Amino acid sequence: MDKYEVTYLVADESVLQKDPIASLVKELGGAVVSTKRWGQKPLAYSIKKQSTAFYVTLVVEMPADKLKKLNRALQINQDILRALIVKGIYEMKITERDEQRGAQRRPPAIKTAPVRLAAQSEPRRAVKTPVEDEAKAASVAKKTVAQPAVTQKTPKPAAKPKDKPPISDEERLAQLEGKLKDLLKS
């Protein structure tokens, strides 16, 4: 049998007194290892018109083939707002202080196996000191040959049109009307 962490949210605290999920786990041939009630917490967004919910986390041990039935029962149950089942080996530590506070401030402490990432398996590169970088820069500077500076040609300014004597508004209108008649003819 595998261990699973079942976290669910309920809107009413009276549902927690019945503990329907623990009885369902026992019916399916599993056992509840530990239970932690987080208390009432505000939701990030409303679910079924509820803005707060009571959070409960169970660590259960049950056969893997019965997991679908448990998940389906969590979805069908109208008292449960949301539920999540996670596979893994978890141990929740409940301290006396958590029990005194009603376990409302912190989520359960979870122990997991360390994960080795692919990036950690690559060999580490040596870190160069500034002295090494300066020495390398000096050796490169000695090897390079001074090249002549490339000059850029600046474009010549555009030629200014010759100043024509100013045209009166009437002459300008006559010219434009002539051009318009030529365009309409063709």
pLDDT tens readout for residues 90-99: 655 555 666 6
Answer for the pair 61, 3: CB distance below 8 angstroms, yes or no: yes
More confident residue, 52 or 152: 52
Q: What is the pLDDT, as a whole number, of residue 61?
A: 92
Longest dimension (CA), the chain: 106
Answer for the pair 8, 83: CB distance below 8 angstroms, yes or no: yes
Q: What is the pLDDT, as a whole number, of residue 129?
A: 53
Evaluate if residue 69 carries a pLDDT over 90. yes
Answer for the pair 54, 16: CB distance below 8 angstroms, yes or no: yes
Does pTM top 0.75 for this prediction?
no
CA distances from 121 to 7, 115, 181 (A): 34, 12, 83
Q: With bands split at pLDDT 50, 70 and 90, how would you rate the model's confidence at 72?
A: very high
2-87 placed in CATH 3.40.50.1220: no
Q: What is the pLDDT, as a whole number, of residue 42?
A: 92
Q: State the distance between the two ends of the chain, measured CA to CA, in whole angstroms.
A: 93
Locate 8 and state its tokens: 């669910």
More confident residue, 38 or 92: 38
Q: What is the pLDDT, as a whole number, of residue 131?
A: 52
Q: What is the mean pLDDT of the chain?
A: 76
**Could you read off the pLDDT of 103-162 as tens digits, one per residue?**
555 555 555 555 554 545 555 555 555 555 565 666 655 555 555 556 667 777 776 666
Q: With bands split at pLDDT 50, 70 and 90, how would you rate the model's confidence at 102?
A: low
Q: What is the pLDDT, as a whole number, of residue 55?
A: 92
DSSP letter (8 states) at residue 34 = E
Q: What is the pLDDT, as a whole number, of residue 168?
A: 86
Please choose, from the candidates 11, 73, 2, 68, the residue with its C-alpha nearest in 3D space to the C-alpha of residue 31. Answer: 2
Query: Where are the strands (E) in the chain, listed by range?
Result: 2-10, 31-47, 50-62, 80-87
